[in-house]
């Protein structure tokens, strides 16, 4: 009976499934056997760190990883290597990002990068960990060029990762506060609110009524009311807002955040300031002359004839 010995072991283990992996001395081939039946298109080996990157077709990714990562985890235990499984699409995306980042640096061109890709240096990490002497042996590379591209990769990797607090701008922090403090606000809606001028919770509550807010942010009117009530709830819980002081707080906020366009723009330099002062002085003088003329032409009483100002 075919597989009789295996079935006997399975029965002894009360139905536990068994995978039989053919052993070969070549590490890459043994790892590929271990994650079978998933197909592997390419294997990138980093012997120094005992790491292998297995490039698989997109439709084979979940099969190679296995449920809950079980397949790749067992393959790593069998081989003793750290395994990283990457889909072909993900690899292409990483290569595009790597090229775009490296081309920002002077002295690095596409040919240099494509040459590294051909030799398996597909990621910034691969380039950053390479030795200058190692890259200098590649045709078309010099020691200076190798040092330059390695330094560029190290600098790029040292940058704050997108989405981390270190990489966030002040605007990002404000949007994050809206997302965290106002119920119903996600990243996309926080960006829309910020773009429409609703920077803080106070903007949502005091700047406009819910209907205007909804129109500006381009959301349903019902959603605008929900955001308004959620922001009011936050301000009551965290900022001391009450029904009694609502009108007072709103008036104070509106006064403090009145648009600059409501008044005359402030002079931007000394020349403009002098011109503004001159115009103001001239306007005052004209006003005084006009007032004098009106005073002379206007009789002191209804009985006094206009001709009283002429010579008698």
Residue 267 is classified by DSSP as P
Q: What's residue 257's pLDDT?
A: 86
Positions of the chain with pLDDT under 50: 1, 260-273, 275-276, 280, 283-284, 286-312
Q: What's residue 162's pLDDT?
A: 63
pLDDT in tens, 247-273: 999 899 999 987 633 433 434 444 444
CATH fold of 103-158: DNA polymerase; domain 1 (1.10.150)
pLDDT in tens, 127-179: 998 899 999 999 989 999 999 999 999 999 888 776 566 666 778 888 888 88
Q: What sign for the dihedral angle of Cα 113, 119, 124, 126?
A: negative
- Read off φ and ψ for residue 82, nearest 5 degrees: -80, 125
Tally of CA atoms within 13 A in the half-sphere of 283 that contains its CB:
6
Domain residue spans of the chain = 103-158, 167-255
**How is residue 199 written in tokens?**
């920077």
- Read off φ and ψ for residue 45, nearest 5 degrees: -110, 130
3 state SS of 83: strand
- Rounded to whole angstroms, the Cα distance separating 136 from 34 reads 36
């Amino acid at each position: 009976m075919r597989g009789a010995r295996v079935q006997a072991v399975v029965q002894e283990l009360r139905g536990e499934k068994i995978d039989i992996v053919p052993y070969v001395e070549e590490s890459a081939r043994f790892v590929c056997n271990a994650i079978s039946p998933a197909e592997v298109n390419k294997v990138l080996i980093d012997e120094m760190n005992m790491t292998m990157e297995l490039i698989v077709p997109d439709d084979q990714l979940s099969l190679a990883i296995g449920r809950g990562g079980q397949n790749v985890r067992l393959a790593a235990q069998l081989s003793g290597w750290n395994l990283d499984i990457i889909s072909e699409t993900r690899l292409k995306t990483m290569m595009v990002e790597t090229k775009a980042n490296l081309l920002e640096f002077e002295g690095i061109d596409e040919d240099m990068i494509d040459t590294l890709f051909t030799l398996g240096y597909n990621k910034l990490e691969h380039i950053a960990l390479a030795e200058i002497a190692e890259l200098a042996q590649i045709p078309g590379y010099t020691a200076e060029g190798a040092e330059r591209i390695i330094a560029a990769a190290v600098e790029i990797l040292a940058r704050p990762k997108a989405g981390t607090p270190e990489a966030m701008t002040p605007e990002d922090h404000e949007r994050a506060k809206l997302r965290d403090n106002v119920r119903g606000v996600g990243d996309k809606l926080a960006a829309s609110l910020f773009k429409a001028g609703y920077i803080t919770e106070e903007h949502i509550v005091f700047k406009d009524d819910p209907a205007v807010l909804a129109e500006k942010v381009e959301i349903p009117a019902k959603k605008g009311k929900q955001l308004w009530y959620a922001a009011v709830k936050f301000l009551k819980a965290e900022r001391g807002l009450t029904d009694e002081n609502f009108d007072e707080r709103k008036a104070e906020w509106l006064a403090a955040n009145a648009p600059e366009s409501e008044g005359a723009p402030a002079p931007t330099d000394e020349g403009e300031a002098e011109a503004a002062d001159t115009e103001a002085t001239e306007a005052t003088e004209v006003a005084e002359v006009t007032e004098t003329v009106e005073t002379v032409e206007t009789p002191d009483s209804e009985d006094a004839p206009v001709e009283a100002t002429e010579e008698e």
